[in-house]
Homo-oligomer: A and B are copies of this chain.
Amino acid sequence: MQLGMIGLGRMGANMAERLVRGGHQVVGYDPGEAAREQAAGRGIQAAASLRQLVDALAAPRAVWLMVPAGQIVDDTLAALLPLLAPGDTVIDGGNSFYKDSQRRAGELAAAGIAYVDCGTSGGVWGLSEGYSLMIGGGEAEVERLRPLFATLAPAPDSGWGRVGPSGAGHYSKMIHNGIEYGLMQAYAEGFAILQHKQEFALDLHQIAEIWRNGSVVRSWLLDLTSDALKKNPSLAGIAPYVEDSGEGRWTAAEAIALNVAAPVITLSLLERLRSRDDDSFTDKLLAAMRNQFGGHAIKQG
């Protein structure tokens, strides 16, 4: 079927290409000219403006947003809304906060436009392997878009689904990412212990490969970890600096709001904050306190 894709960055362009490969017609728009040109080379019909994109689609339209979460989504919707018609559907495939998605669904509904929130996992591998899609919104709208989801997913009948009403898709994706933080931290801690056991001079890549086959801890993240350790066994040149992109914070806050103790997910987020603080005031004050009561030497900083 026909789809308009707004946002032709790493994720948007790959998803558009997977749809094109699957026989769909995709009109794409991105504010960056280079992104538009690259997309054109991948079988995506590039539109020079939102208006061009909308005009190129037959009603009822399906327009997919693949832009950074936050204000950009609202700005894009504000520009897009006057161009759409009742019966059209907008899909937000990014990592929006689920309460924003609930609000936006309400706002668009008032204009007769459906809003579908679609949590999307798969990263740069989604192009070849397919994306895992958690979808929130009305049953009829999701059903109408079935051909798109079936193509984006790893297989027509698996890896995607409507999980609930508006917001439920992004909610599920948020928790997915919280879990992801915990999984990553668990692997990283384990390999760090192995790496510090100098007595055994362990080959971390070899161990990752063994674990990938038959062990309880086998997973796709372990596959990637193994690749990373193969390319760069000592992780030379990589700073111990870990970004976070928001969903972990929301997950930690949501758990507390629901009175669910989620210590491992929460702590995985805090460890990322800690990784970016190379002059910890906490630790400096601890050193100062030890000096105060015990006369313990302070290391000069």
Are B289 and A193 interface neighbours, CB within 8 A? no
Q: Which B-chain residue is minimally distant from A179 (CB atoms)?
A: B190
Task: Give the most central of A159, A254, A279: most B CB within 10 Å.
Answer: A159
Closest Cβ of chain B to A137, distance in Å, is 12
Contact present for B264 and A207 (CB under 8 Å):
no
Q: At the interface, yes or no: A301 with Cβ under 8 Å from chain B? A: yes
Residues of B within 8 A of A221 (CB): 216-217, 219, 289, 293
Does A35 make an interface contact (CB < 8 A)?
no
Q: Which residues in window 12-54 of A have CB below 8 A to B?
A: none
Interface residues contributed by chain A, number (CB under 8 Å): 134
Task: Give the Cβ gap from A18 to chain B, nearest Cβ, in Å.
Answer: 11
Q: Which of B178, B184, B194, B299 contacts A175 (CB 8 A)?
A: B194
Residues on B with C-beta less than 8 A from A218 are 132, 219-220
Chain B residues whose CB sits within 8 angstroms of the CB of A295 once the complex forms:
10, 123-124
* Contact in complex: B285, A124 (CB < 8 Å): no
Residues of A at under 8 Å CB distance from B? 10, 121-126, 129-134, 136, 153-155, 158-161, 163-165, 167-168, 171-172, 175-197, 200-203, 206-207, 209-222, 224-225, 227-228, 232, 235, 237-243, 249, 251-256, 258-296, 298-301
The 3 lowest CB-CB distance pairs between A and B, nearest first, are A182-B186, A219-B219, A159-B213
